[in-house]
Structure 1
């Protein structure tokens, strides 16, 4: 409402000036306009200097990024309040000038003295320009995923139909942290997602079998007793990297400022991961002479030291369907290559 009143007042000023050609009014109106511009420029320059000082503290490690963001927001709010307070004084002067002009208290001059008979007074509302809105282009998520795990033999995915490992008994788990960075400043579609994760891949052989290392070969053999549990686990520390398509629409506030969010709509990620093996372990549980026995075997089992693969996910908001496939074989020297494949659910919690 205040802006509407001011705009109407300015238009009235321009009309009166054009009709009566009062140089005194023109000079005073221009003076107020220049003062307002100076106020906004001074406050914007002061804010710029304060932000630079905060960035220096951040770079030197005196404060962290969260503290820096809070200080920037605080400085922006302070400068916006200063502008509003100082401009209010000039607005009062403008209102009084208009009133005096309408009442005829300002001396008139001959219209021929006007340097520009088509003079119009232009009011620019600078206050909103100085309200700095800090938008985080990078957000952090906690990632947790789980699902089914198995092996593809010699690149033939049909081998999963007759797998040597229990379909519903073999699982994978993954947890870690990722950073999600919007690539373009004014577009929300493309993001780069990168971070650090621990992957747990578990295999449970069928037909009472377990993994045995014979030289540089690792193979499945039948166990002499009835196995209650046969589980083969690999743990990897990896660096995942995805190009994420986030279809979350932007929000435009009342001032026309665009705000971007993530993980609020459909998302699609395409990428991969690379890392190294942290631990390989086999757990066997069985009974011998009515005694329950649990054996934990730790070793390399000829497993690959490094891991790399492809992964993708598609979902809505925090939840996605997740697929990953190791490009390196599980056992590095076996005559037949077997590659780990996992399918499950993934959660990215902001």
Structure 2
């Protein structure tokens, strides 16, 4: 019996030695696999940062070609971008080298418990560092560059003088001050090239907020009486009498003019680098607010009044507009075909002349 027990103990000891050796082999294999993966990831880091630098340099070059910056400014920006990307490579490689060192010093079992500092590359192309169980990820997935973009967008800002064309009257007889009545327009536009291989014809469309302001003369102000709005004399001394209509409109213009072609290996772009342009079209939308502000004196005391009501202004607005200019700047004219007020004996139509900036 003692002999059988000795044999069984010897067999068990032999099996334990084999299991321990197998575990060590698995652990070493897992560590070596992970080390090799991190070494390969170091090349990925270099490629990513170089691609980022290439994109930044191309953006700086486009700004230079558009005249937004000088040659010296462009070179300085390129040097700063190169320095930043070089430091990024250095720092990111140092993190990976530290991770490799941890794997080389520790076995797989112990390393798996080191959650205080774990470097990982996720399937979503995220580069992340886990510190104190909080993960900070940087998305490194590079969006493929589209070779040809037929639709672009830009920000619209316009400002200028505002008044009204009144049936049977000239602008000299207008009740609104010619110099101080003005308008402001803010919006967002999209521009689509109509022809596939030529940028000469473009369709421009979007939305805008228009603020049309009238400064009234001769101590006049508007008073709403039922369905009729009348221009009457204020009983006291008016220091200010301002009437403002706010519209939300959707303009559409056919834009014509040459564009500069930038044909590169991986992309084709067209830019308006101080090229002549002309736009013809119109707009339609809604009146979203009407206000009147009065400032006057009563017995030597200054009072202010803000009146917010419809004043029988037209709810549906529409009109014609056009612009002509160079680059981002143009002379701008718009004219409302819809009357300012409903149910008036004499129609009034808003007209605006100013400067328009299309900033892309």
1:337 to 2:350 alignment: no
Q: What residue number does 1:250 align with? A: 261
Instruction: Find the aligned partners of 2:317 and 2:273 in 1 and give their Cα distance.
Output: 28
Query: Is the contact between residue 260 and residue 273 of structure 2 (CA under 8 Å) also seen in structure 1?
Result: no
Instruction: Find the aligned partners of 2:291 and 2:241 in 1 and give their Cα distance.
Output: 11
1:167 aligned to 178, 187, 195, which one? Answer: 178
Greater per-residue strand proportion: 2
1:315 to 2:325 alignment: yes
Instruction: Find the aligned partners of 2:142 and 2:324 in 1 and give their Cα distance.
Output: 34
Q: What residue number does 1:225 align with? A: 236
1:128-143 pair list within 5 angstroms: 134-143=147-156
Q: What residue number does 1:5 align with? A: none
Query: Is the contact between residue 147 and residue 267 of structure 2 (CA under 8 Å) also seen in structure 1?
Result: no
Alpha-carbon distance, 1:263 to partner: 5.7
Instruction: Find the aligned partners of 1:138 and 1:286 in 2 and give their Cα distance.
Output: 51
Distance of aligned partners of 1:257 and 1:201 in 2 relative to their CA distance in 1, 3 Å threshold:
closer
Query: Is the contact between residue 230 and residue 283 of structure 1 (CA under 8 Å) also seen in structure 2?
Result: yes
Instruction: Find the aligned partners of 1:278 and 1:256 in 2 and give their Cα distance.
Output: 45
Number of corresponding residues: 222
Alpha-carbon distance, 1:159 to partner: 1.4
Instruction: Find the aligned partners of 1:209 and 1:277 in 2 and give their Cα distance.
Output: 23
What secondary structure sits across from 2:172 in the alignment? helix
Q: What residue number does 2:284 align with? A: 274
Alpha-carbon distance, 1:261 to partner: 2.0
Query: Is the contact between residue 272 and residue 328 of structure 2 (CA under 8 Å) also seen in structure 1?
Result: no
Ranked by relative contact order (alpha carbons within 8 Å, sequence separation 6 or more), the top structure is 1
What secondary structure sits across from 2:170 in the alignment? helix
Q: What residue number does 1:71 align with? A: 143
Instruction: Find the aligned partners of 1:214 and 1:259 in 2 and give their Cα distance.
Output: 57
Q: What residue number does 1:200 align with? A: 211
Instruction: Find the aligned partners of 1:71 and 1:308 in 2 and give their Cα distance.
Output: 41
Query: Is the contact between residue 246 and residue 263 of structure 1 (CA under 8 Å) also seen in structure 2?
Result: no
RMSD: 2.3
Alpha-carbon distance, 1:345 to partner: 0.5
Q: Tell me, which stretches of 5 or more residues in structure 2 are unaligned?
A: 1-123, 125-138
1:261 aligned to 271, 289, 302, which one? Answer: 271
2:163 aligned to 113, 134, 150, which one? Answer: 150
TM-score, normalised by the number of residues in structure 2: 0.58
What secondary structure sits across from 2:260 in the alignment? coil
Instruction: Find the aligned partners of 2:142 and 2:192 in 1 and give their Cα distance.
Output: 20
Q: Deviations over 1:103-133 (max 9, x none)?
A: xxxxxxxxxxxxxxxxxxxxxxxxxxxxxx6
What secondary structure sits across from 2:143 in the alignment? helix
